Amino acid sequence: MKRIKVFKKQKNKDSNRWLERHLNDEYVIKSKIDGYRSRSSYKLIQINQKFKFFKSSNSILDLGCSPGGWLQVSKKFAPKNSKILGIDKINLKSIPNVQFLQNDIFDENIFNKIDSFFDGKKINLILSDMSPNSTGNKKVDHLLIVSLIERVLDLSNYFLSKNGFLIAKIFQGGAQGDLIKKMNQTLSSIRYFKPKASRAESPETYLVAQKK
Binding site for ligand SAM (CB under 6 A): 37-38, 40-41, 64-70, 87-90, 104-106, 129-130, 132
Residue of 107, 102, 40 whose CA lies nearest to 74: 40
Q: How far is the CB of 10 from ligand SAM (least distance, A)?
A: 27
CB of 36 or CB of 160, closer to ligand SAM: 36
Residue closer to ligand SAM by CB (options 152, 160) is 152
Concerning whether 169 is annotated as a catalytic residue, the answer is yes
CB of 118 to ligand SAM, least distance (A): 18
CB-based contacts of 21, cutoff 8 Å, min separation 6: none
Please report how many Cα atoms fall inside a 13 Å half-sphere around the Cα of residue 9, on the Cβ side. Answer: 5
Q: Quote the least distance from Cβ 43 to ligand SAM, whole Å.
A: 8
Minimum gap (Å) between residue 9 Cβ and ligand SAM: 30
| CA dist., res. 171 & res. 178, Å (int) | 14
- Alpha-helical (H) ranges within the chain are 2-24, 26-34, 41-51, 69-77, 110-117, 138-159, 176-186
Residue 183 or 197 with smaller CB distance to ligand SAM: 197
Dist. CA 126–CA 128, nearest whole Å: 7
Which is the catalytic residue, given 32, 169, 196, 211? 169
Which residue number, 46 or 129, has a Cβ lying nearer to ligand SAM?
Answer: 129
Return the active site residues.
169
